Chain A
Amino acid sequence: MDFKPVSLSTSPLDQSWYEASARARLAGLLDADTFQEFIGPEQRMMSPHLPLFDLPRAFDDGMIVGRGLLEERPVLIAAQEGRFMGGAFGEIHGAKLVGLLRAALAVKPAAVLILFDTGGVRLQEANAGETAIAEIMRAITQVRTAGIPVIGLIGGRAGCYGGGGLIAGTCARLVISEGGRLSVSGPEVIETNRGAEEFDSRDRALVWRTMGGKHRRLIGAADAFVDDTIGAFRKAVLAAIPAAPSFDLATLEAEQARLEARLDRFGDARDATEIWGGLGIADPAAVPGLTTEGFDALLARLPEEPHHAR
């Protein structure tokens, strides 16, 4: 892999998505100075549960929601702060996203953007968190039924795991970077339940080729693979909004057929590289080292068009 030197640019668009805070991602992704927060930190809408466990709270409970402009079109937007409790869904954290999605039905934005960075449900408030996951998925289906695209962006430190992975599965389009990982059970969870022979969570190469952005793009779980910059995510979101499929019976039946065919074809594969070979990639071992340009060229050369999710 050829590493790019650290950018000396001060433009928000050139900054690393992975390294940026949730607030920096929001500010850089939207048109400059257009983000308006709902229920900002000064309102101190914090977790009612964490004090019971003697744990520190965050003023925004790790979820920042609001509105802004994307190339002058209004969008509603939510960002998870992956460094606060692993970006996990608690009661307030989840309720803020549910409220944003329900607001979308009233204000009809050009899109709803969800900047995932989460390990899943916060164990200290698990029941409320699980309920929130269900409410969010339901709200997304309602927003999409109303014709509003819901786009997920995945490139943060915590990846997109647990209930976050389920929510991502209901989005109309997903944009992912090399640093982003998308799955339901995380590496440590699988190892704890099934043993290191099944999945060695310390094998970082295994984690990335099983859950990382390139694999998710190749098997059609994500729709765009981008460089780790805020500018690359912005460009991909602008392309994803008009490409979002309508949410109707035909789309769902096509998605079901796609997933069944994928399982039939690759269900017995022992490693992601077997799947990549099956897709017609001559040198699967070289895929993790490809640059974004190299990877895009590989996608264009594949004998079959990579699937689009949903």
Chain B
Amino acid sequence: MPGASRDGTIDGAEEDPPHTLLPFLQSQSQNTLTRLYQRPSACLSMFRLLPPLDRQLVMNLLWLESAVPAGTMGAWVTRQGRKLYDEALLNLSRLHILPNPSVKLSLNGMFKTSLRQAVTGGGNNGSFGTAALKDDKHPPVSIEVLDTYAVERWETILHYMVSSGTGQLPTKPSPGVLFLLQRSGLMSTVHGSALQITSAGFQFLLHSPHDQLWQLLLQYLHMAEEREMDLVEILSFLFMLSTMELGKEYSIESLSVTQKAMLEDLRDYGLIWQRRTQSRRFSPTRLATTLTSLLPPLPTATSSGAGSQDQGFIVLETNYRLYAYTDNPLQTAVLNLFVSLKYRFPNLVVGSITRESVRKALANGITADQIISYLSTHAHPQMRKNKPLIPVTVQDQVRLWELERNRLKSEEGYLYTAFASQADYEYVLNYAKQLNVVLWENPAKRCFFGNLEGHGNIRGFIERRTGGQA
């Protein structure tokens, strides 16, 4: 849909849950984080990842030379805001940005210096990357080329995932990517056969590109330790990339050894572009420069046919018919996960949501909620006039199909029956209840059902009792 305007509606809701990277950073040691905070670009990126209230607090404290007593700051907080305020302080202290918030408030010295530098400029530590000198032979590559490259790389990965197991043979991503997919549990091999997508992988496909990217990068960070790579170097390089300018070339001279080693991986993911593998310069793509911002990571207005990732393209009718205005094989393949496709035209795919197609998706581990949320995020602008967005009939039916699969609940255990007397029965039942293992009971029939883990205890209990009587 060329010409359709883009307002910031897509990522509007993204602020609510904390960014996926923050829990990971919170689990790191103070030492690691302080080293990371030596880099102004890292501090700026961190700042951008924080929730709004945390940012507000950091901004308030940034230019203060002395610490603020906790009571003084606390006096500003209304009763309703107390919980949010406490959460924000806890969050910041876990990130070691705000040490000891219960006594007095003062930013981590290193973080303060670096963020100030990031805001005001100055310094020559190259933490925002070193721009490459102008090269007369090769002018910098255009933004279109970068976008096409990023989309092609990224979609190769997703397309490989979605079509594994369907018998098609799409382009294989590099071994590094395949390894990452396998390690993150998105794909797995069964008996040494080719890689197959897992249920986590199916769920992954329905996420937004930004979430997908961070999910993979997080896995990359987890793997870094095993590969004996320095976490701080990796994080700071990712943060550096996220503050770079699209369409500019940067020199690899100022990168550390670890960071140079990362270039190859990041090239595979489509985060950076290099003219040749041995090139002394690189250009970040849109995937990289939007890592810590709310802008869409893939180009939206499209002329090349690929792309239009975030643009809504799905029209869904109350009769379960689905029209998808797309010529993108990846989007078609993703739809094929839960839609039975009927016709394919140059710019349009028609299909319908059927019981079989949804059951297939459910069997693959996709949930009804994920299907519905995928449909609503990618709804065509025309659909957005409807309220509710997704026809209620379809929503309910998809949920019902999910419930239908779970009509039977089962739990293994033991049925205790044929008690000699009511007193006996109640005595044992009481004991079982204390253990919290009773799943079903019926006093009239004098029997009850306990789960497997309780059996040993109950048996011992009864044996002790009958033993005592004997």
Does A associate with B in a complex? Answer: no
Which residues of chain A have a CB within 8 Å of any CB of chain B?
A: none
